[in-house]
Amino acid sequence: MRYIRILILVFCVLLFNIGCSRETCVTPLGIEYQGIVLSSSDGGLCYTGDLPASGTDFSITCSRPLTKVMVNRVVCQDEYGNPQLSSYWGDIVYTHQDSPMSLEFHLSENSSNEDRLFVFVFGSGNETCKISLKQHH
């Protein structure tokens, strides 16, 4: 019985040390962008920017694919759970699908009476980059 308790204790200690860490290492993805002004204060994990109400076109190149599209806090997915690349807000086209991946963004005019918030997430897990864009009305 004592042997079983020792095994359980050793197992719990190993599980705690393997599964948990005080420092979770998240590596920011390097991105390149054209046609837009972005700023980052955390080494490239998150970028922010403003968009004109009239709409805009810009491009982003990243080593990992686009994994999430959000518009006004709504996640836009297709029927397979992939990011929805076209809707009333505009469209996104992969111009180069191998790494590094290049995407062209065409965001349409914001004709509503409220600002529109876009969030684009590239990569997943411990390699990620989040871009938040505010389109004024």
pLDDT tens digits for the chain (137 residues)?
666 766 666 666 655 555 545 566 778 888 999 999 999 988 889 999 999 999 999 999 999 999 999 999 999 999 999 999 999 999 999 998 888 899 999 999 999 999 999 999 999 888 999 999 999 98
User: CA 41 to CA 50: how far, in whole Å?
Assistant: 15
User: CA 131 to CA 119: how far, in whole Å?
Assistant: 6
Bridge-based pairing of strands 127-135 and 27-28 is parallel
Task: Say yes or no: domain 26-135 is CATH 2.60.40.10.
Answer: yes
Nearest-5° Cα angle at 60, 54 to 63: 160
For residue 129, give the H/E element and its range.
strand 127-135
